[in-house]
Amino acid sequence: MIGNDGKPITRDQIRAAVAAYNGTARGSTEFAAIPRALVTILDALAVGKTTYVKGSDGQLQISRRKDKTIVAG
């Protein structure tokens, strides 16, 4: 996953972005800091489905719960 600055992001940074995705409004500055590609992946993730996102230090499993929140494992 490539960040907004063009540099690879780590799994911890992806987890922080997922927390911002779950907890902030779309117009906020925190939400604007999430990489656009990650927002696209998270928006398309269906309830009960799992996907993997590659960070610079390995893969991270991401799934959407029934309450429509995203969990990064």
23-57: pLDDT as tens digits = 999 999 999 999 999 999 999 999 999 999 999 99
C-alpha dihedral, 23 to 26 to 62 to 66, nearest 10°: 70
Q: What pLDDT does 73 receive?
A: 83
pTM of the model: 0.91
Torsion, Cα of 34, 39, 40, 45 (10° steps): 150
Domain regions of the chain by residue span: 11-72
